[in-house]
A and B are shown apart, each in its own frame.
Chain A
Amino acid sequence: MSEPGSPVLASRTRSKAWAAYTADPLSVIGLVIVVAIVALAIFAPFVTPYPDHVGPTGDFAAMNAAPSADFWFGTDVIGRDLFTRIIYGYRLSLIMAIVVLAIATPIGVIVGLVAGYKGGWTDYVLMRITDVFLAVPPLVLAMAIMGFLEPTLMNGMLAITAMWWPWYARLIYNVTRAEAQEGYVLAAETVGASTAHILFREILPNCWPSILTKMTLDIGFVILMASSLSFLGLGVQPPTPDLGSMVADGAKYMPDAWWLTIYPALAILLIVLGFNLVGDGLREAFEAES
């Protein structure tokens, strides 16, 4: 722990954390992958060669073209550039992941904090509810929710959020249970701090490393889940470029137009891998810092 207000110490632990992060070349590779994909996704309209291929129309003169200098990853059955559509697919995936985690994380964290600190009946009821969500395979639960709603982007995010918060509740519950026994919590209780103060000002700051690490890993896993839903036809509908539905559509043209399936498939692999490597690196860095 660094002393607050001591810039020298703070920067020393920070550089130690950076050194721990960069010690593993895989973490650095992950960071490069993530930065590159995020940059491409943000600047998609400027960096993609055929930005107008995002919609339902393509270039019929270049139908089913194999990968070439003009079309790096080839084109689909109506002549749309696959590279362009994959970059836009990344854009959609990243937005979905950010929205899902922005909603699911606070819900899960609050449930975990309250259940872990309060104990007793509150703990029992909240954690049994959490168990129920964890007892259904995540994909099946998301599918069931989609089954009762229309398959749209909004509902897809809703379905994934509904099955995602329990994992944060479980994680933060375990951290809180351990932290609640620590001296600083007792000290805050003794001076009469409010429950809200203890939860959010005392315990929560010690949960941040676990939360941030998990969120980084989860950006990848939310993208994986969203693409799985749309692969089954239960997610984003065409013509919106989505990595999962691109794989499903392309599979109809195997093996001749293999690029239609393989490039979007590898694109999913790459982004999940990137966020996983960064998440692992972050964990090492947080451990070095503390």
Chain B
Amino acid sequence: MSNILRSLLHRLGAALIVMIGISMLIFAIARVMPGDPARIALGPNATAEQVAALRLERHLDASLPVQYWEFVKSLATGDLGKSLYTNRPVTTDIAQFLPATLELVFVSGILMVLIGLPLGILSAHFRGRFPDHVGRLISLLGVCTPAFVWGVILQLVFGYFWGWFPIEGRLLEGTPIPPGPTGFYLIDMAMAGNGAGFLDALHHLILPALALAMSGLGQTARLTRSNMNEVYDRPYVEMARAYGFPARRIATRYAFRPALIPTLTILGLEFAAMLGNAFLVEKVFGWPGLSRYGVEVILRKDLDAIVGTVLVIAAAFLIVNIIVDILVNVINPRIRLAAGRA
């Protein structure tokens, strides 16, 4: 157990270094931008005094290392500054919009695994036969198609033409928004005991989540297929075949578990892509998440809000990657032992 703990601490340390690096990167990008940040923040109508006051408040006349130190100090107290677009603290804005984005991304992640893994297993199981060709085609199309293209296609076919799913939003108009506490409507509705509300939220989630999942789903299926095929070629699987073990048992008992480990490691990367691609899907389906806010503050050059949004997404990504690492550790005894020895 202490081995796992030690490797966990090691990973947390590495994540912390990366997080510091990200804060430097974002800070650098925000500072190399041409123009006076205070002037851009206040807009063309501000007086010279107002600009000077803001420069003083934000330590903009200090040297860059001092500015960075002030930036980190305010980050450490959980202060991300104030959005000029909404005129509220950036943390308040993000707390409002992030849950919708995270709910979408988590449901997509679940779909990615629930569809991608079986698709890959079927492909490997029927290697070179019809289900394999279909599986490979689906994963290829998934990987090659931007999330917003899937979004508009799914929306047109299942939303507009067939009317099976709502076109946009998180709930039907007039449905009261659940009071909380998580901001994940599925969880909030379930906790409030509102069955109809839960189904409505789910109904609204399916198309956007599927559009967002397609790329990762294709990648997962592709990798599961090639990893399982590799295991199928190993002597011990041949041996199991020679003993006459049923094909299903060979697939689930012998081929799937070793194939799962490399697949799990890419899930973290896929999750990162989803956090980014959520911006595209949210735009297609009018999803009230971080995307509309993010694009809006970017177009308005709302510095604090841009920096805050990027930092929060990067942090979310790092946390998920640590969780994936831990899962891989738990599943793979070899890595567990190696981590203990190191």
Residues of A at under 8 Å CB distance from B? 128-129, 131-133, 135-141, 143-149, 220, 224, 227-228, 231-234, 244, 247-248, 251, 254-255, 258, 261-262, 265-266, 268-269, 272-273, 276-277
Q: Which single member of A148, A224, A254, A261 contacts B301 (CB below 8 Å)?
A: A148
Tell whether, in the assembled complex, residue B21 and residue A140 are in contact, meaning their CB atoms are under 8 Å apart.
Answer: no
A247–B152 touching, CB < 8 Å: yes
Q: Restricting to B290-317, which residues have a CB under 8 Å from any CB of A? A: 294-295, 297-299, 301, 306, 309-310, 313-314, 317
Are the CB atoms of A139 and B277 closer together than 8 Å?
Answer: yes
Assess whether B156 is in contact with A140, with CB atoms less than 8 Å apart: no
Please name all residues of chain A whose beta carbon is closer than 8 Å to the beta carbon of B299 when the two chains form the complex. 233-234
B273 touching A137, Cβ below 8 Å? yes
**Given A135-B22, A145-B29, A148-B306, is A272 in contact with B155 using a C-beta cutoff of 8 Å?**
no
Contact indicator B18/A147 (Cβ below 8 Å): no
A228 engages B18 (CB within 8 Å)? no
Contact of B153 among A131, A136, A231, A265 (CB under 8 A): A265
Which residue of the partner chain A has the closest CB to B316?
Answer: A137
CA distance A234 to B291 in the complex (A): 13
Chain B residues within an 8 Å CB radius of A231: 146, 148, 280, 283
Q: Are B22 and A132 in contact (CB under 8 A)?
A: yes
Q: How far is the CB of B109 from chain A (nearest CB, A)?
A: 14
Checking B17, B33, B149, B275 against A269 with a beta-carbon cut-off of 8 angstroms, the contacting residue is B149
Digitize B1-43: 1 where CB-to-A-CB distance is under 8 Å, 0 elsewhere.
Answer: 0000000000000000110011011100110110000000000
Partner of A272, one of B21, B144, B156: B144
Asked if B152 and A140 sit within 8 Å, CB to CB, the answer is: no
Q: How far does the alpha carbon of A261 sit from the alpha carbon of B161 in the complex, in Å?
A: 14
A255 to B158, CA, bound (A): 11
- Grouping DSSP codes into helix (H, G, I), strand (E, B) and loop, the B interface class, with mixed when no group exceeds half, is helix
Known: A268-B149, A269-B145. A128 touches B310 (CB 8 A): no
- Does the CB pair B18–A135 fall under 8 Å? yes
Which A residues are CB-close (under 8 A) to B256? none
* Docked-complex contact B284 and A251, CB < 8 angstroms: yes
Distance between B318 CB and nearest chain A CB, rounded to angstroms:
6
Nearest B residue to A234 via CB reads B298
Known interface pairs A137-B272, A140-B275, A272-B144. Does A258 touch B156 (Cβ–Cβ under 8 Å)?
yes
> Can you list 16 pairs linking A and B with CB atoms under 8 Å apart?
A128-B18, A131-B21, A135-B314, A137-B277, A140-B313, A148-B306, A228-B146, A231-B283, A234-B295, A254-B152, A255-B161, A262-B153, A268-B145, A269-B145, A269-B149, A272-B146
**Which of B33, B153, B317 is the one whose CB lies under 8 Å from A135?**
B317
Would you call B143 an interface residue if the criterion is a C-beta within 8 Å of the partner chain's C-beta atoms?
yes
Sample of 19 further A-B pairs with CB below 8 A, known A128-B18, A137-B275, A137-B277:
A128-B21, A131-B18, A132-B22, A136-B272, A136-B314, A138-B273, A138-B276, A140-B279, A140-B313, A148-B33, A227-B146, A231-B283, A233-B295, A251-B152, A255-B160, A262-B152, A262-B156, A265-B149, A276-B144
CA distance A261 to B309 in the complex (A): 29
Q: Is the CB of B140 within 8 A of A261?
A: no
Selected contact of B310 from candidates A140, A244, A265, CB within 8 Å: A140
CA distance A233 to B273 in the complex (A): 19
Given A135-B318, A137-B276, A268 and B306 touching (CB < 8 A)?
A: no
Q: Which 5 A-B pairs have the closest CB atoms?
A: A139-B276, A137-B276, A132-B21, A255-B160, A147-B298
